[in-house]
Structure 1
Amino acid sequence: MELPAARPTRRGVWPALRRRPLFWSSVTMLLLLVLVSVAPGPIAALFGHPDPRACDLAAGRQAPGGSHPFGTDVQGCDVLAGVLFGTGTSLFIGLMTTVVCLTIALVLGTIAGYYGGWADALIARLTDVFLGFPFLLAAIVVLNSVPDRSPLVLSLVLALFSWPTMARIVRGSVRAVRDSEFVQAATALGLTHGRIVLTHVLPNTLGPVLAIATTMVGSVIVAESTLTYLGVGLVQPSISWGLQLASAQSFFQTAPHMLFFPALFLTITVVSLITLGDILRDALDPKGRS
């Protein structure tokens, strides 16, 4: 006896993606940002400033131009070098937080959606507890109580209060797949629950979840910048767009370039990620494809 075919969630996805200019523009921009995050030193060296911490107090708050295309900050550090080196930190926090959230959401959401019963009720109450905390307020309280606010610590704190929403999405997707004919046929054939989940349930659940996860990376980068801007995020000697924005807030009128260029890179990154997530969600939704 052959199992009914699983839902073709990926059929027609690539044709739907490749004909959309926004998909290619978003992917191209993100690939460039990844390249910058991997090799910020050599790229910054092309502009004559390979070390973002090499500062000249006498050249503080210089306007863009000459040997400093993005100008200098209040300590005379090259803004362009800081932006380039901050790319890796911001992307690391966004990706690490999303990976941790996705892992927790897949485990708890799959258990709740597939088994139901008391496990579903227990996980539902757990998500309600975490959703009851205001996100930024909870993160501020926790970050103020930790001795080290490194990028990894910040990622874990953001993940701690970000996973419940994604877990609910996973639960809903798993419940919809669980009642499908191919899952029922696999159960009738005596396949173990673990094999059914790994070979039938998760492959047909990951598509929409990954699309949401892509959007989440951008939201996390904004959250990190917000917390750092408020003074409870990253601290020196870390380099990030949030730290640049925080140090520039008092000099916006006299040196607006200090705020403009980190904000520009932040905006481009977040818009690219959110656009890519929206496009993936539409492509993975059969009703959204022509």
Structure 2
Amino acid sequence: MPEPEPQPYDPVGPGENEAVAPTGQGGAMDLALDEAESLEKPLDPDPSAPRERARSLWSDAWHQLRRNPVFVISSLFILFLVVISLWPQLIASGDPLHCELSKSQQGSSPGHPFGYDTQGCDVYTRTVYGARASITVGICATLGAALLGSALGGLAGFFGGWGDSLLSRVADIFFGIPVVLGGLVFLSVVTSTTVWPVVGFIVLLGWPQLARIARGSVITAKQNDYVQAARALGAGNARILLRHVAPNAVAPVIVVATIALGTYIALEATLSFLGVGLRPPTVSWGIDISNAASQIRNAPHMLLWPALALSLTVLAFIMLGDAVRDALDPKLR
């Protein structure tokens, strides 16, 4: 049987008249080509499937906060405090200023679960109505300090210059004033029985902290590339500050202000305990704690309930601030 003649080696490859094996009939080269084509062509999305939008910082923070039990519990408790501050008669039908000396320092009884104080007033009713003054002072003082501090600190950090130096020196002066000593001096000459002198004092000593936080956030935000791009496109200082810098610098201010709200409530109670904060006939937890301090051995219930309400309120705002901080700071996730 004759052997087949060997074919000559053709380095060029198959000619024009020779058939080429179609892709997919085997071989490592065909497999590599198929895989490359599958990588180059993206998968066609299902038109019926919902498209997931990219979340912003605030939507991503809210997405995380809703799943944080600390945030949920503290928010529900704060919401309860706000509701009873606005409408205390929902859970307390009595009058906090109605007192009967014949029931002085008596313990709990039907309809009066917290007992009576030295003047014969219902401790439960006064504890419920005391939330109004504390929440009002805390919220108003926080809003005032946050607005004033954010405005001054943001402008100083954005424009810099002599205004920034002046604000820093003025803030250092206020930082050097002891809070309790300043309250004793400032509020001792005030004769008003409303909450506004206390609110004004807290704003006066609280804005430097928030101003320093806002200043640092604005200085960091204005150095970002998108701010430089907006300036290169001809945007003015007002537009850059309001549209680009402020939204990205406000998160630290919100966190600090939320935590500070609880400390402001505690500060109001401290000043009222010392006799220079809120004064009767205003109903306040600090006033009730001050009246009960001397009778703690004979009637501990007079001190227990307003002190417990104050502690839970401060703790709720601090927990809320911690949860907001964890949600707004990506480094803590």
Q: TM-score range by the shorter chain?
A: over 0.9
Contact 1:97 1:156 survives alignment (8 Å):
yes
1:21 match = 69
Greater RCO (Cα-Cα under 8 Å, separation 6 or more): 1
Contact 2:133 2:283 survives alignment (8 Å):
yes
CA deviations over 1:80-125 (Å, ceiling 9, x no partner): 1101111011000001111110011111111111011111101111
Contact 1:226 1:242 survives alignment (8 Å):
yes
1:93 match = 137
Contact 1:143 1:149 survives alignment (8 Å):
no
Bigger Cα Rg: 2
Which sections of structure 1, spanning at least 5 residues, go unmatched? 1-6
Q: How does 1:179-198 map to 2 (within 5 A)?
A: 179-198=223-242
Letter in 2 for 1:36: I
CA distance in 2, matches of 1:119, 1:189: 27
Identical positions, percent:
43
TM-score, normalising length: structure 1: 0.93
CA distance in 2, matches of 1:148, 1:284: 40
1:253 and 2:297 matched: yes
Contact 1:97 1:155 survives alignment (8 Å):
yes
1:117 match = 161
CA distance in 1, matches of 2:286, 2:84: 17
TM-align CA RMSD: 1.3
The alpha-carbon deviation at position 132 of structure 1 amounts to: 1.4
CA distance in 2, matches of 1:147, 1:89: 17
CA distance in 2, matches of 1:196, 1:143: 41
What secondary structure sits across from 2:120 in the alignment?
coil
Letter in 2 for 1:75: Q
Q: Name which of 81, 94, 99 aligns with 1:33.
A: 81
1:227 match = 271
Q: Name which of 257, 263, 266 aligns with 2:307.
A: 263
The alpha-carbon deviation at position 149 of structure 1 amounts to: 4.5
Contact 1:9 1:286 survives alignment (8 Å):
no
Name the structure where helix makes up a greater proportion of residues.
1
CA deviations over 1:123-152 (Å, ceiling 9, x no partner): 111101111111111121000122324211
What secondary structure sits across from 2:92 in the alignment?
helix
The alpha-carbon deviation at position 205 of structure 1 amounts to: 1.3
Letter in 1 for 2:82: V
2:214 match = 170
The alpha-carbon deviation at position 11 of structure 1 amounts to: 4.7
Q: Name which of 246, 250, 255 aligns with 1:211.
A: 255
Contact 2:115 2:124 survives alignment (8 Å):
yes
